[in-house]
Amino acid sequence: MLGALVIVFREVLEAGLIIGIVMAATRGVEGRGRWVAIGVGAGILGAAIVAAFAGVIAEAFEGIGQELFNAGVLGAAVVMLMWHNAWMARHGREIAMEMKQIGSAVSEGARPLTALAVVVGLAVLREGSEVVLFLYGIFAQGTSGLSLLTGGLLGILAGAAFTGLTYAGLLAIPQRYIFAVTSWLIALLAAGMAAQSAQFLYAAGVINHLGETVWDTSWLLTEKSLFGQLMHTLVGYVAQPTALQVVAYVAALAAMFVLMRIARYRPQARPVEA
Amino acid sequence: MRHLFAFTALAALLVAAPLTAKAADEFTLTIKDHKFSPAELKVPANKRVTITVINSDPTPEEFESESLKVEKIIAGNAKATVRIGPLKPGRYGFFGEFHEDTAKGVVIAE
Ligand SMILES: [Cu+2]
């Protein structure tokens, strides 16, 4: 039972951290609860569909369908997070100012909300399909799987609780810093996803370079430990990264900063009346 | 439409063919009763290697390894292809995430 709890908890945690960050990043924006809920719902539905077609997906494209699928899901999430951060760099200040009086920024706020809802959906889709498959496996094993199932359900609860904790922890950050903090979190989150996505492309044989392991810090922190898992999801920590992962990570982070700078500078070049 | 489909499939095959031909180092792992056999797989070092994982169990399994950088789900009674390496000589542990207590193995690169 404990094993099942840990496996499911780990998957839910990954998606939950992302949901917690998204909730914090959209603090004060009207309608965010609905968008996040839509994202979660769509993600669960998608996960069930993906799980049902797991075999077909895996066999597609000469057996590299699953890698391409994962790379695509992660890549799409990275693009959405970049879009969100660029948008926030541009409008974050207005939203922060108008947070209490619902102004024009809020209706505009719906735009990054769709991007973030997609991110939530993709996170739930990716992690959720593993959970669904795992629970299905337990069901298929029959009655002996009952305690495993209990473990799995407890894992979901624990993961959900962790999501709440993440959100509460981020809420403790004073309002005027929250955009800066969540922008950083989202930038690191995206960089980690980009590294993972690139590694899936390598596993698929689409990329065939930079596959050497650069360093090994598994003696210090493995990704399997709870803290390692946290760091893996939050900042993309990998104990034994390949050169490709490092390059993708740095490139994504750099691209994010350039995008945010561009987004931030434009209103100055073309002043907007307050 | 059907012709187009067949043509696309043929084109995909032609593109994929050299890829498959290049992978001379192919190995097989079988999952049965939530255990891997062989539990120790010897592969050449400093080369990309392809492992076909056959899941003979009715339940899905996730082939996972931090050191091999693999994370792949194999449906019940199905097989999947895993590409690893190039590996420095050494031992690389892997496990089946859904049955971690029994499904364990190691890749030995030499
Ligand atoms: Cu996962």
Look up the ipTM and state it: 0.75
**Mean pLDDT for chain A overall:** 83
**Is B49 a domain residue?**
yes
Nearest to B66 among A70, A133, A224 (CB): A224
Q: How far is CA B103 from CA A51, B62, B83, B85, B94, in A?
A: 21, 10, 19, 21, 9
| Confidence check: pLDDT of A113 > 80 | no
**Is B77 a domain residue?**
yes
Per-residue pLDDT, averaged over B105-110, amounts to 94
Cβ within 8 Å of residue A5, ≥6 positions away:
A151, A152, A154, A155, A158
Distance, in Å, from the CA atom of B27 to the CA atom of A243, rounded to the nearest integer, reads 25
Q: Which residues of B touch A243 (CB under 8 A)?
A: none
Nearest to A54 among B71, B75, B81 (CB): B75
| Confidence check: pLDDT of A187 > 60 | yes
Residue A97 vs residue A264, higher pLDDT: A264
Give me the sign of the Cα torsion angle B6, B11, B16, B21.
Answer: positive
**CA of A94 relative to ligand 1 center, distance in Å:** 36
Q: Which residues of B touch A240 (CB under 8 A)?
A: 66-67, 69
Task: Quote the domain boundaries for residue B53.
Answer: 26-109
Per-residue pLDDT, averaged over A248-264, amounts to 92
**Nearest CA-CA partner of A51 in B60, B99, B33:** B60
* CATH number of residue B91's parent domain: 2.60.40.420
| Confidence check: pLDDT of A97 > 70 | no
| pLDDT attached to residue B3 | 47
- Entry pTM: 0.81
> Which of A73, A130, A222, A244 is the mutation pick for testing B, counting most B CBs within 10 A?
A130
Per-residue pLDDT, averaged over B71-98, amounts to 90
**Is B86 a domain residue?**
yes
For residue A165, count other CB atoms closer than 10 A to its CB: 13
| pLDDT attached to residue A10 | 84
E strands present in B1-110: 26-32, 35-37, 40-43, 49-55, 61-65, 70-74, 78-84, 90-96, 104-109
**Is B20 a domain residue?**
no
The nearest alpha carbon in chain B to A52 belongs to B75
Contact B60 A64 (CB under 8 A): no
Contact A204 B80 (CB under 8 A): no
**pLDDT tens per residue across span B11-38:** 454 444 444 444 458 899 999 999 999 9
Contact A208 B69 (CB under 8 A): no
**pLDDT tens per residue across span A127-159:** 888 888 888 777 776 656 677 788 888 989 998
| Confidence check: pLDDT of A197 > 90 | yes
Chain centroid offset of residue A109 CA = 20
| Confidence check: pLDDT of B7 > 70 | no
| Confidence check: pLDDT of A53 > 50 | yes
Distance, in Å, from the CA atom of B29 to the CA atom of B52, rounded to the nearest integer, reads 6
**Is B87 a domain residue?**
yes
Residue A176 vs residue A9, higher pLDDT: A9
Domain count, chain B: 1
**Is B4 a domain residue?**
no
| Confidence check: pLDDT of A266 > 70 | no
**Is B40 a domain residue?**
yes
